[in-house]
Amino acid sequence: MNRFIPFDAIENARELGGLPAAEGRTVRQGLLLRSGNLSRATDADEERLLRNFNLTEVVDFRFPAEAAKDPDRVIPGVRYTSLSTLPQRMIDGFSQGRVGDEQPTNEQFAATLVHYATDPQAQELARQLYPTILTDPLSQQYYGQFLRIVLDAEGGVLWHCSQGKDRAGLAAAFVLAALGADRETIVADFDLSNTGFATPLAMLSQKVRQMGGDEQALKFIGAMVGVSTENFSHGLDLIDAQYGSLTSYLAGPLGFGPASQQRLREKYLR
């Protein structure tokens, strides 16, 4: 089943509706939506968000400079919340030009990614992205706030970062975990971003091979253009080791305990 939603100008958009969750139930359709940013959303996209998803909440996980560069389209009647879940040291690394968090839409940016694919420091920054976010107290606070927004929403919720893959992917994982989805479902949803960005991923991977790039260089391209499902799985292992389970992690540092998780299931499962 193709889970991607073909908006005019909102990339990597898909909803959680229909995914399996706790007690053999499934996520309700038309309420929980993840995507790339809304800066280029068209009139038709806006109309569809309001009609098909009864959109009332947008949560933007980008850091301020990202959001200022490509501000979201403002949709009347929708509340916007900015929660910069990328820790400052990662922002500093991106800002220094080593790596980026945008789709390679032009030759200059693509060349930058290819150039840094063989840089050990850039490779390590990519490997540390998820562990750094998952263990950062402020990021944890913001993701907990996000879950409470989802719980209290009066209509549909859309959350995004730049491309809707890493920070938005973690948010989706937290929602699915709270709804009782198993690890296989959570990982599969996260990995689906690689399908959404398959074309640029293949193009830049080929360029790195032509440069003689090794496996680590190719993994860097995979993480920056798509998502590293391997790194994400390691992040889940880290959570299991430190907190016992993903739901315990939600209840602990994210402050979204069993009672809130149960209320979320009552609201969003059928």
Any domain includes 8: no
Report the pLDDT averaged over residues 238-245: 97
Report the pLDDT averaged over residues 224-235: 96
* 43-50 contact pairs (CB < 8 A, 24+): 44/8, 45/7, 45/8, 45/9, 45/10, 45/73, 46/73, 46/75, 48/7, 49/75, 49/156, 49/158, 50/75, 50/77
Any domain includes 156: yes
pLDDT of residue 98 exceeding 60, the answer is no
d(CA 54, CA 226): 29
Which residues does 136 contact at the CB level (< 8 Å), separation at least 6? 87
pLDDT of residue 164 exceeding 60, the answer is yes
Looking at the chain, the whole-number percentage of residues with pLDDT higher than 90 is 84
pLDDT value of position 96: 58
pLDDT value of position 115: 83
pLDDT value of position 104: 39
Any domain includes 4: no
**26 in helix, strand or coil?**
strand
Count: domains in the chain: 1
Any domain includes 225: yes
Any domain includes 122: yes
What is the DSSP code (8-state) at residue 169? H
The number of angstroms, rounded, from the C-alpha of 80 to the middle of its chain's C-alpha atoms is: 17
pTM: predicted TM-score of the whole model, two decimal places? 0.93
pLDDT value of position 73: 98
**Residue 157's beta-bridge partner residues?**
32, 57
Which tens digits make up the pLDDT trace of 122-160?
A: 999 999 999 999 999 999 999 999 999 999 999 999 999
pLDDT of residue 72 exceeding 60, the answer is yes
Report the pLDDT averaged over residues 194-217: 91
Instruction: Between 2 and 258, name the one with better pLDDT.
Output: 258
CATH number, domain containing residue 173:
3.90.190.10
Confidence of residue 116 (pLDDT cuts 50, 70, 90): confident
Average pLDDT of the residues of the chain: 93
pLDDT value of position 113: 83
pLDDT of residue 26 exceeding 80, the answer is yes
Report the pLDDT averaged over residues 68-96: 91
Decide if 37 contacts 62 (C-beta within 8 A). Answer: yes
Angle between helices 167-178 and 258-268 (to 10 degrees): 90
Looking at the chain, the whole-number percentage of residues with pLDDT higher than 70 is 93
Any domain includes 9: no
User: Range of 196's domain?
Assistant: 14-268
pLDDT value of position 112: 80
pLDDT value of position 180: 98
Any domain includes 55: yes
pLDDT value of position 242: 96
Any domain includes 95: yes
pLDDT value of position 230: 96
d(CA 249, CA 270): 25
Instruction: Between 119 and 57, name the one with better pLDDT.
Output: 57
